[in-house]
Amino acid sequence: MSNTHTVQETSRLSDECSTRAEELLRDHQQTIYVRTDRMFGCLMVLQFLGGVVTAYIVSPLTWAGSASEPHIHVWAAIFLGGALTILPLSLVIAFPGKAASRHVIGICQMLMSALLIHLSGGRIETHFHVFGSLAFLAVYRDWRVLLSATIVVATDHVVRGIFWPQSVYGVLTATPWRSLEHAAWVIFEDVFLIVAIRQNVLEMKQVALHRARLEMTNTLVEAKVKDRTAELEQVNRDLEVEIAERHRAEKEANSRQERLRAIFESAGEGIVTIDAQGVIESLNAAAARMFGYREDELVGQNVSLLIPPPEGKQHENYIESCLRTDRDVEGKRKDDSLFPLELAVSEVHIAGMHLFTAIIRDLTHQKQLQCELAQAQKLESVGQLAAGIAHEINTPIQYVGDNTRFLEEAFGGLDTAWDGFDKLLQAAKEGHIDQPLLAEVEAALLRADIEYLREEVPLAIEQSLSGIGRVAKIVRAMKEFSHPGAEEKCLVNLADALETTITVARNEWKYVAEMVTEFDPELPEVSCLPGELNQVFLNLIVNAAHAIGDALGEVGVEKGTITVGTRRHGERAEVFVRDTGIGIPKKIQDRIFDPFFTTKEVGKGTGQGLAIARSVVDKHGGTIHCESTEGQGTTFFVRLPLKAQENTVEAHEYENTDSLR
């Protein structure tokens, strides 16, 4: 892996070096191009002036008899030479260093040589200007410029050698071989110049590569120096920080230990440390007060001293069980009294020692508050139902009163009949019953409407007794429901508990639903806390009534149906409450048991009902869940253990009446 990384890094550096060398070579060549362009700009001006001077010296005038005028060569030197000078000079100024500028300069330079040869009358000396011009063009170190210049000069010699040999050779006639001879000499010089240019370019490349390597080496060295310097500075800073930290750590070690000890001693919760054999290593003042001992009385003692029997003799199992989860258990004080506590045990390894740390919280006051809160919540539910219950009692009381008034009126009408019977009885005893007396008694009976009373009075009495029974049932249900209940579990018939709750909640459901009960007569009694379970059943039935009430407003039907039933589900008793309400949206079904979560409008629900129901069912070691289809209804299932032994264990565990396990 390291070799591969090294090869890759070397390849990267080589690529960077080559790229940098190419950049340096281009920069150097561009500098040469610009400098040579400027040189030729000055040279073209000097050549122009030289051509004009030459024209004036060699052939300044042309004669026609006694008349003379400037020779055509002068005009050629001025205008043609000026054109050959202005064009490259403009490119030098506007586009220095460009390839087009170089080639135009080369061509113009060759044409300037041809002009000078012409002005000199084809003298052999001026032909050396061509070779000198090629040598100057080689300064560009670009063989392509020589190529374009050679083509121009060769073409010029061939064309003028054929059509105007005097202009180029100074003779009236010249053989074609002479033009080829001149071209050969130009090519001969080009070969040497091109070889020299290529060699010079290679040297420039080597210099650029060497410079690039030097730059990269310098960069790498500077980077390494910088990195090393930064490392040394960082190491120095780290050393300074470490030294400062050590001084600070040493300075704070004692104070930290004292603070930890103060926190340990002042903690409101009890903290006890024991070893693997259950021997108490240390404890704080809160733990000592909680169990009623002094600290020195417990240090060195076995933890079983604080655990009520029989688990006190099996502290190993107790510790392992408490390691799995926080638990509400029971502790034993010095005076042998028991109290509920919450226990959390953690396992630690310090300096090869296997220790356990127990965090203990006294739950006596909390449990009292929980009981009071549960009872207050139950009474709150009863208070919310009070208006409906009053209405339920008022109806039977009303028709008991009506029947009693009817009986009062009926017996008032019978007084006249009783008087007639007394007279008839007295006359019968005396033995002289006359016709007027019989007519009077008969009239009295007709006025009293005896036949009607014979039919209606028993019905009135029956209805009154039924109303009184109904009131008694409601009062009995309210008494059973609102009673704080036993602190320990007892066997309860779930059907009876549900009937009581249905009665209490009647005014909540009777206007929106028909109540259907499906109780399993073979279901055994369940060990539970009846008061708390009644609260669960009440919450479920009231919620069902509200759900149906919401559904009635949407679909416009008269009434829905609430089905309450019991049945056996394996080793558990199952209570179900089914409604035909609006259902629960799937996206919130996982949240319905969260405290304070409600979908009801403000003032109609607090979001505590199902949360309380779950806590109560959990307390009984049971489960509660729901199945719901939006728009069709919801069914809640409460499942409670049937085995008395399991109930007893779970009751002790959740009521803090079990021992520390």
CATH code for the domain of 646: 3.30.565.10
Whether residue 408 is found in the same domain as residue 280: no
Confidence of residue 196 (pLDDT cuts 50, 70, 90): confident
Whether residue 174 is found in the same domain as residue 289: no
Whether residue 425 is found in the same domain as residue 535: no
Whether residue 146 is found in the same domain as residue 22: yes
The total number of structural domains in the chain stands at 4
Is 71 part of a structural domain of the chain?
yes
Read off the DSSP letter of residue 302. B
Is 84 part of a structural domain of the chain?
yes
Whether residue 188 is found in the same domain as residue 128: yes
3-state secondary structure (DSSP) of residue 145: helix
Read off the DSSP letter of residue 80. I
Is 408 part of a structural domain of the chain?
yes
Whether residue 515 is found in the same domain as residue 635: yes
Whether residue 172 is found in the same domain as residue 28: yes
Given a cut of 50, whether residue 113 has pLDDT beyond it is yes
**In terms of Cα–Cα distance, which of 127, 119, 200 is closest to 157?**
127
For residue 615, the tally of other CB atoms under 10 A from its CB is 18
pLDDT tens-place string over residues 410-454 = 666 666 666 666 766 777 777 677 777 677 666 766 666 666 666
Of 451 and 631, more confident: 631
Give the domain-ending residue among 479, 507, 525: 479
Give the domain-ending residue among 455, 479, 503: 479
Whether residue 46 is found in the same domain as residue 193: yes
- Domain with 150 in it: 2-220
Confidence of residue 661 (pLDDT cuts 50, 70, 90): very low
Query: Which CATH number do you get for residue 286?
Result: 3.30.450.20
Q: Before 310, cis peptide (omega within 30)?
A: yes
The DSSP-derived string for 606-649 is -S-HHHHHHHHHHHTT-EEEEEEETTTEEEEEEEEE--HHHHHH
* DSSP H helical ranges for 165-308: 165-169, 176-266, 285-291, 295-298
Given a cut of 50, whether residue 206 has pLDDT beyond it is yes
Given a cut of 90, whether residue 566 has pLDDT beyond it is yes
pTM (2 decimals)?
0.40
Dump strand ranges (E) for 284-423: 327-332, 338-350, 353-362
Whether residue 8 is found in the same domain as residue 137: yes
Whether residue 110 is found in the same domain as residue 124: yes
Is 231 part of a structural domain of the chain?
no
**In terms of Cα–Cα distance, which of 582, 570, 571, 489 is closest to 544?**
582
Whether residue 449 is found in the same domain as residue 572: no
pLDDT tens-place string over residues 459-510 = 667 666 666 766 666 666 555 555 555 557 888 899 988 888 888 778 788 8
Give the domain-ending residue among 362, 395, 414: 362
Pair of tokens at residue 108: 């113009």
Whether residue 467 is found in the same domain as residue 507: no
**Mean pLDDT for the stretch of residues 101-129:** 80
Is 207 part of a structural domain of the chain?
yes
Is 276 part of a structural domain of the chain?
yes
**In terms of Cα–Cα distance, which of 311, 269, 262 is closest to 290?**
269
The DSSP-derived string for 427-473 is HHHHT---HHHHHHHHHHHHHHTHHHHHHHHHHHHHHHHHHHHHHHH
Place of tokens 């607090």: 606
**Residue 264, amino acid:** F
Is 468 part of a structural domain of the chain?
yes
Is 6 part of a structural domain of the chain?
yes
